[in-house]
Amino acid sequence: MNDQRLTPADLASALARRGSLPRRYCEDFVRSFFEVVEDGLVHDNLVKIKGFGTFKVVDIDARESVNVSTGERFEIASHTKVSFTPDAALRDAVNKPFVAFQTVILNEGTDTKEMEKLWDAVPAEEPATEEPATEAPAAEEPVAEKTVSEAPATEAPAAEEPVVEAPIVETPAAEEPVAEEPVVEVPVVEEPKPEAPKVEAPATPAPACEKPCRCHCWLWLLTACLFLLLGYCIAYYWHPVELPEFTCDEPETEIVEETPAAPADTVAVEAPQGAAAVAAAKNYPQQEDGDYWIVGELGTEKMTAGKTLLNMALKYYKDKNLYTYICTMNGITNPDIVPLDMELRIPELKDKKTGLTPIEVAEAAKNQ
């Protein structure tokens, strides 16, 4: 929908949609809307439409101008112009994206060179384009509020770059005592700074270079801080996880000695069972990094539509995370792909340390 070119027909169909009106009628209405505006302009020189704006026919007096290429003076005949001033509401609506910006008073030392560069890049936005081209560079216009002088010869040498795209405007103090506009566009005058030429040939890149450098410094510092923080977090989270794993990997014989340190009351009874579990575990495929030994078979389950490994783990162990043991038991490498009608052997699990089944472990945890 953005940046489209609309015709009255497009407008009419949009209007028809908005007001749910017949399209033919809307087209007719749009046409007569602008016809009436035109009539009003012809007869009254002014048309005011609430919420939209004011059309006005403005007289422009004859004035003298200079042909740029030949330097000849000639007179621009008096003529009229149709001006349109949007209503405050419409103006604000159009300017909505930029409404947050406000005029800022610049301090003395503010560097405007960055901005000039921007202007160089987009020279098309300059004013004085609605009139014939000859008018723009007029030397002295007593009628206009501003005296426009291109002056490429006088100002440009200061910088080696052709910066002076923006028309340089001065308050004509001598020729024109009455300045109608209190605010005049600034002459973007180049002040050749002493340190600039040392760095590089063109004057402007020097200050431009400094800023990005500082920017980069900040960026690097920020990234470094971020990495440090990230590293710290990772270290913090991994450390406690790794510790128990180390104890797990110790030889099995030590389990007996180790366990008394933890739950003192149950260990004495459970430890021999743990040893028995280890012996039984040798007959089955085992999961190296898990907490449980596979010591036997609880039964088999047929894989049918609607069943998942997670559901089975939940059913047999009350813990869906233990589905990995079902995978190990049946040699399933990818748990996402289990053939239909496959007979799955459900392993019987015993905790490596205490010899408890997963359900007992969960209950013990609940009781504590």
Q: Facing residues of 54 across strands?
A: 48, 85
Q: Tell me, what amino acid is at 91?
A: R
Residue among 299, 300, 309 at smallest CA distance from 332? 309
- Tell me which of 102, 304, 334, 367 binds other proteins, using CB under 8 A: 102
CB nearer other proteins, residue 90 or residue 303: 90
Cα distances (Å, whole numbers) of residue 60 to 14, 227, 264, 302:
37, 66, 103, 94
Q: How far is the CB of 103 from other proteins (least distance, A)?
A: 5
CB 336 within 8 A of CB 309: no
Q: How far is the CB of 121 from other proteins (least distance, A)?
A: 10
Residue among 1, 7, 4 at smallest CA distance from 34? 7
3-state secondary structure of 39: helix
Instruction: Kindly provide the b/e burial profile for residues 312-346, where b requires at least 16 CB atoms within 10 angstroms of the residue's own CB.
Output: bbeebbeeeebbbbbbbbbebeeeeebeeeeebbb
φ, ψ (nearest 5 deg) of residue 335: -65, -15
CB nearer other proteins, residue 111 or residue 297: 111
Q: How far is the CB of 78 from other proteins (least distance, A)?
A: 10
The answer to whether 90 contacts other proteins (rule: CB under 8 A) is: yes
φ, ψ (nearest 5 deg) of residue 347: -75, 150
The answer to whether 119 contacts other proteins (rule: CB under 8 A) is: yes
3-state secondary structure of 125: helix
The answer to whether 104 contacts other proteins (rule: CB under 8 A) is: yes
- Tell me which of 73, 79, 216, 302 binds other proteins, using CB under 8 A: 79
CB nearer other proteins, residue 60 or residue 199: 60
Q: Could you tell me how many residues make up the chain?
A: 368
The answer to whether 168 contacts other proteins (rule: CB under 8 A) is: no
- Tell me which of 24, 73, 91, 216 binds other proteins, using CB under 8 A: 91
Identify residues 121-150 at the interface with other proteins (CB under 8 A).
Answer: 122, 125, 130
Scanning 50-58, 196-204, 242-250, 360-368 for contacts with other proteins by CB under 8 A, the matching segment is: 50-58
CB nearer other proteins, residue 124 or residue 264: 124
Identify residues 255-284 at the interface with other proteins (CB under 8 A).
Answer: none
The answer to whether 88 contacts other proteins (rule: CB under 8 A) is: no
The answer to whether 106 contacts other proteins (rule: CB under 8 A) is: yes
The answer to whether 5 contacts other proteins (rule: CB under 8 A) is: yes
Scanning 119-127, 226-234, 282-290, 331-339 for contacts with other proteins by CB under 8 A, the matching segment is: 119-127
The answer to whether 183 contacts other proteins (rule: CB under 8 A) is: yes
3-state secondary structure of 294: strand
- Tell me which of 69, 71, 105, 236 binds other proteins, using CB under 8 A: 105
Identify residues 10-49 at the interface with other proteins (CB under 8 A).
Answer: 11, 14-15, 18-19, 28-30, 32-49
- Tell me which of 76, 163, 168, 188 binds other proteins, using CB under 8 A: 188
Q: At a CB cut-off of 8 Å and minimum separation 6, what does 187 contact?
A: 155, 168, 169, 170
How far apart (Å, rounded) are the C-alpha atoms in residues 306 and 29?
63
